[in-house]
Every structure is written in C-alpha cells, then in structure tokens.
Structure 1
Amino acid sequence: MGELAGELMALFADGFRRTLQVARARRRRAAGGPARIPCSARADGPGPRGAYVAGRLRLAPGAPSAAFTARGRARVELAAGGTFHAPEPDTWYDQDWAATAYRAPGAAHAVHLQVDSRLLPLLHAVLGAPGTPQNV
C-alpha cells in the first residue's frame, strides 16, 4: 500500500511542478523578462538518430536566438525566424509533452524539441518568424 501511495504522490507532485513551471514562464514572458523552458532536444543530421537530451531552453526578450543548455553538454544557439515542422510520430514519449522540429534560418538540419504542450504556443511565438505561417 505504501508503494501505491508513493507512486501517486510522485504523479501529483510532477503535475503540480509542471503547472508551476508553465505559469512562471508565461508570467516572465508577459512581463518582458527572460524565461527558462524545460525542454528535451536532439539534433537531426546524417548518421544514426541520437537520443533526446533533457535541458532548458533559455529565452531572452528581443534576443535574436534562444539557447538550449543541458548539463555536461555544449550550449546550442537556435536562431529565431525559422520554421516549425511536425516530427516523426514516434517522437512523442509522453502525452503531456509536444514534439516539434525546428529548422533555424540557414541551418542544414532541424532540431527536434519536446516541451510541455502548454508551452508550445510560447515556443512558436518566440522562435517563429513573425508574420509567416507555420507548418505544424
């Protein structure tokens, strides 16, 4: 019985933590401040498909790019003004996380991003080119 209670506590705590992260990111962006979005990313390119790396996407107001940072990994800059594309269907590992492929302007390959589905519109607004239709 204790195991079941522990699993339920972890489930509810994770949902509550995600809700707080979404609210904080939305509030900071609405106030014009920087925001960090919990995110997983993997680069698309030649060779075998890599695994997703968990990290954070750092969004600064008025910045021409967003930075993906993960522990023990090099910082990856994603230039704003690119296009979003629907990734392959097997990239959805969790129903709460939305996957999308982002191709920065001038980039040879797309970067696949997974974010909380409630933060996907914020990601599109920050990285997408203003006034251009997105292919999602």
Structure 2
Amino acid sequence: MGELIAELMPLLTDGFVRRWHVARVRRRLAAGKPVRLPCSARSDRPGWQHRYTNGRLDVTPGAAAVTFRARGARPLELPTGGTFHEPEPDTWHSQDWAATGYQPPGGGRQVYLQLDSRYLPSVHLALAGPDFRTA
C-alpha cells in the first residue's frame, strides 16, 4: 500500500507545486529579481546538441540576454528582443510541455524551447527585451 501511495503522491502534488512556483516566478520578476525556469532546449547552432536537453533558463530582469544552462553542456546565451515562431511538433521532447521557437535578433539559428505552458507568458516577456516588466 505504501508503494502505491508513493507513486501517486507526485501525480497529486505536481499541479499544486507547479502553480505555486509559477506564482513565485511572476512575483520575483515583477520585483526585479532573477529567476530560474525549468525547460528543455534544442538548437542547430554549432557546438550545441541537436536534440532536446533538459536544463533551466536563468532570467535576470533588465539583462540583454537569457541563459540556458544544462548539466554537462556549455551555457547557451539567448539575446533578448527576438521573435517567436511556431514549434516543431514532430520532434517535441515531451508532449506534456508547451513548445515555442525563438529567433534571436539579428539572425542566427533558431532555438526551440519546451516548458510547462504556465511559464510561457513569463518566457515571452523575458525574451521580449531588456525592460520586459513594462510590457
């Protein structure tokens, strides 16, 4: 019985914990404090893995770039001020997460991000520009 309860606990508590973390992220961003968002990223850039890699986005309000960090991989800098495009549904890492394509300003290769759909508005605002709190 204990094993069954242990397997059900993550399913029952994930929604609450995720909702709490999303609210915390929004409060911290509104206060101008840095946050970390769990996500997966894929890019065709040289030196980057061509498959989705689990990691996090480090967002600092007012910074000119957002950094994706993953264990065992070098950081990927995403300059702010780019545009968002449709995702690539055939290669999604997880169907439970929302995906979006981000085209950095001034060209460059597109980066595909996947994260919980509740974080998407925060990511869109963070990558919109250096002063995203006024948006």
2:52, 2:93 within 8 Å by CA — same for their partners in 1? no
2:58, 2:66 within 8 Å by CA — same for their partners in 1? yes
The equivalent of 2:76 in structure 1 is 76
Provide, for residues 5-33 of structure 1, a one-character-per-residue CA deviation record: whole Å limited to 9, x for no partner.
Answer: 23211212332332232122111001111
1:58 positional shift: 0.7
The equivalent of 2:4 in structure 1 is 4
The equivalent of 2:35 in structure 1 is 35
The equivalent of 2:118 in structure 1 is 118
Q: Quick one: percent identity of the two aligned structures? A: 55
1:81-92 aligned at under 5 Å gives the runs: 81-90=81-90, 91=92
The 2-side partners of 1:98 and 1:125 are apart by: 16
1:21-32 aligned at under 5 Å gives the runs: 21-32=21-32
Unaligned runs of 5+ in 1: 131-136
TM-score (norm 2): 0.82
RMSD of the alignment, in Å? Answer: 2.1
The 2-side partners of 1:36 and 1:117 are apart by: 15
The 2-side partners of 1:63 and 1:78 are apart by: 11
The equivalent of 2:50 in structure 1 is 50
Unaligned runs of 5+ in 2: 131-135
Amino acid at match of 2:66: A
> Secondary structure of the residue that 1:81 maps to in structure 2?
coil
1:107 positional shift: 3.6
1:129 positional shift: 5.0
Higher alpha-carbon deviation: 2-11 or 36-45:
2-11
> Secondary structure of the residue that 1:29 maps to in structure 2?
helix
Which 4+ residue blocks in structure 1 deviate beyond 4 angstroms?
Answer: none
What is the number of residues matched between the two proteins?
127
The 1-side partners of 2:24 and 2:80 are apart by: 22
The equivalent of 2:95 in structure 1 is 94
Amino acid at match of 1:93: S
TM-score (norm 1): 0.82
